[in-house]
Structure 1
Amino acid sequence: MGGNAPPHPRERRGRAVSRILVTGAAGAVGTLIRPRLARPGRILRLLDTVELEPAEAEEFVRASVTDPEAMERACADVDAVVHLGGISVEAPWRDILDVNINGTCTVFEAARRAGVPRVVFASSNHAVGYRTPDEYPLTAATPPLPDTYYGVSKAAGEALGALYHHRYGLDVVCVRIMTCCTEPPDARALSTWLSPDDCGRLLEACLTAPKPGYRIVYGVSRNTRGGWVSLDEARALGYEPADDAERHAAAVLAAHGEPPADDPVFAHVGGPFTAAEFDADRL
């Protein structure tokens, strides 16, 4: 970047977050969090491969996270990156490798080159998807045990985040997001639901906590049927969940029925992602 290179991330810490780059802004989580990250004096720079109509105090960049030059331009004058972009379901290895792993590396490298001091990486419970109930609650110290190529990509993203923190000084928070949607879609989600409002609260904590260093936290609401993962690490950043999936329980169980205790979706934290339909020869 020559003589006009932005300051090293360590030199920019302490500035108020005023412009946040959100990759994958057109996706399900991106759509939910846009209004919830809006603040007076803050600009959200939205990035996606599909067209978006920016609202007030938003900017739009049409680009792929796999494009190094476009990503570096998108990171210019940015105070933090919320990296949601990528394939959000299981897919063939070549696609996961290109978009989720190489793309995430591209995002971290672009942030480093542009002097962005903080990256919040959307990881997933599928990075530890083969963990079982006897190991609950899972914590930040729980080693990866991915359930799919998708889960592998999230474990790789967490490793990249560790590298970019320890080598280059970026603050990196990896959020192992559980089931983030407007309402719990099924009985399993009564334990794993992350409400949109709580997702906004968690991301705000990740963006504003002073000097978090490198962290792994779990993204989940304060569910009565929870306890699968620890909220201690997220609370240490200032996150306090306010929502509980239990208020949706009657409607969910009326629609889907009470699942048997031996339902395979409860055998692992990754739920249906551990099923045979996700075997490589079926993709």
Structure 2
Amino acid sequence: MPAPRTVLLTGAAGGLGTLMRSLLPEYGYTLRLFDARPIEQEPDAITADLSDKEALRAAVRGADAILHLAGISLEAPFEKILQSNIEGTYNLYEAARREGVPRIVFASSNHAVGFTPTPRTGDPLIPVDTPHRPDTFYGLSKAFGEDLAQLYWDKHGLETVSVRIGSCFPEPTSVRMLSLWLSPADGARLFHAALTAEDVGHTIVYGSSANTRLWWDLTTARELGYEPLDDSEPYAGKLIAEQGEPTVGNPAHGYLGGHFVNDPPIWPR
């Protein structure tokens, strides 16, 4: 697929959106910013909610592709998850279908399969076709988003790459994150590959750097043209000294979703 010129970036005020606002233009993209919160020093950003169908359709109109990062990113009451992550994602797909946008890159999450046990030493990496095992209502919403993407590909020919993002921060902050860390630079490389690869249909990929302690299989991401350059291992010594080695029976190390399976962080609003 030719590199899209104009990409609608939803969730542009969030942590990941802020990182991508600075990194993706280096690949030649013109970003159209969308968020429920105003974005400082971005006077052209669209401030609207995913429930505002008219504003959403206007935002989508004329875009070559969409990078959908918007929504609640932690656990919350089901009613809030329903409105933001489930109905909001449906509204976005409907707007894209009506306006003829050919591709969406959807920010899924490891929490769509969060109750999947982590591999032990010598075990095969977790494949992308592992069954959905969401660990929270948040994870459930990401499983829904992946299935919605499949429906819109099969029924309407709208392509999606669903990226099961690990943890995209400037550096990992926990021992668990050593296995799931996605450096911001690798995040931009992965999203660029997802926006430009040919004939993706609906493709699910795991989103992380080439970590020494990797838990999941990056094959489908590499098939898009993604070449991760970073590794969390330089941070391992400091984190293990502070937090200790992974322990058997600790949900943070025993399941892909970590502490989301038993003590998830709650969305503050």
Q: Give me the TM-score of the superposition, normalised by structure 2.
A: 0.93
User: CA–CA distance in 1 between the matches of 2:40 and 2:227?
Assistant: 31
Gaps of 5+ in 1: 1-13
1:111 equivalent in structure 2: 96
2:196 equivalent in structure 1: 208
Structure 1 residue 279 displacement after superposition: 11
Matching of residue 99 in structure 1 with residue 94 in structure 2: no
CA RMSD of aligned residues (A): 1.9
Structure 1 residue 133 displacement after superposition: 2.6
Matching of residue 20 in structure 1 with residue 20 in structure 2: no
Matching of residue 229 in structure 1 with residue 229 in structure 2: no
User: CA–CA distance in 2 between the matches of 1:198 and 1:41?
Assistant: 16
Structure 1 residue 41 displacement after superposition: 5.1
Are the counterparts in 1 of residues 74 and 264 from structure 2 also a CA contact under 8 Å?
no
User: CA–CA distance in 2 between the matches of 1:61 and 1:127?
Assistant: 29
Q: 1:185 to 1:40 in 2, by over 3 A?
A: closer
2:30 equivalent in structure 1: 43
User: CA–CA distance in 2 between the matches of 1:78 and 1:185?
Assistant: 35
Pick one of 104, 107, 113 that aligns with 1:122.
107
Are the counterparts in 1 of residues 113 and 133 from structure 2 also a CA contact under 8 Å?
yes
2:232 equivalent in structure 1: 245
Structure 1 residue 40 displacement after superposition: 6.7
Q: Report the count of equivalent residues.
A: 263
User: CA–CA distance in 2 between the matches of 1:260 and 1:35?
Assistant: 37
Alignment of 1:57-136 (within 5 A): 59-134=44-119
Pick one of 241, 247, 251 that aligns with 1:254.
241
Are the counterparts in 2 of residues 21 and 75 from structure 1 also a CA contact under 8 Å?
yes
Instruction: Render the CA deviation track for 1:18-69: whole Å, top value 9, x for unaligned.
Output: 00001001111111111211047531001001111356xx941111112111
User: CA–CA distance in 1 between the matches of 2:172 and 2:220?
Assistant: 23
1:144 equivalent in structure 2: 132
1:4 equivalent in structure 2: none
1:159 equivalent in structure 2: 147
Q: 1:59 to 1:116 in 2, by over 3 A?
A: farther
Letter in 2 for 1:103: G
Runs of 4+ in structure 1 displaced over 4 angstroms?
A: none
Q: Give me the TM-score of the superposition, normalised by structure 1.
A: 0.88
Q: 1:40 to 1:91 in 2, by over 3 A?
A: closer
Matching of residue 264 in structure 1 with residue 267 in structure 2: no
Gaps of 5+ in 2: none
Structure 1 residue 102 displacement after superposition: 0.2
Letter in 1 for 2:21: R
User: CA–CA distance in 1 between the matches of 2:174 and 2:265?
Assistant: 23
Letter in 2 for 1:124: S
Q: 1:140 to 1:40 in 2, by over 3 A?
A: closer
Q: 1:40 to 1:248 in 2, by over 3 A?
A: closer
Q: 1:65 to 1:239 in 2, by over 3 A?
A: same
Letter in 2 for 1:186: S
Q: Any idea what SS the aligned residue of 2:45 has?
A: strand
User: CA–CA distance in 1 between the matches of 2:156 and 2:91?
Assistant: 15
2:167 equivalent in structure 1: 179
User: CA–CA distance in 2 between the matches of 1:64 and 1:161?
Assistant: 20
User: CA–CA distance in 2 between the matches of 1:52 and 1:263?
Assistant: 39
Pick one of 203, 208, 212 that aligns with 1:220.
208
Structure 1 residue 215 displacement after superposition: 0.4
Are the counterparts in 2 of residues 192 and 221 from structure 1 also a CA contact under 8 Å?
yes
Structure 1 residue 213 displacement after superposition: 1.1
User: CA–CA distance in 2 between the matches of 1:185 and 1:40?
Assistant: 28
User: CA–CA distance in 1 between the matches of 2:3 and 2:92?
Assistant: 21
Are the counterparts in 1 of residues 24 and 188 from structure 2 also a CA contact under 8 Å?
yes
User: CA–CA distance in 1 between the matches of 2:3 and 2:103?
Assistant: 12
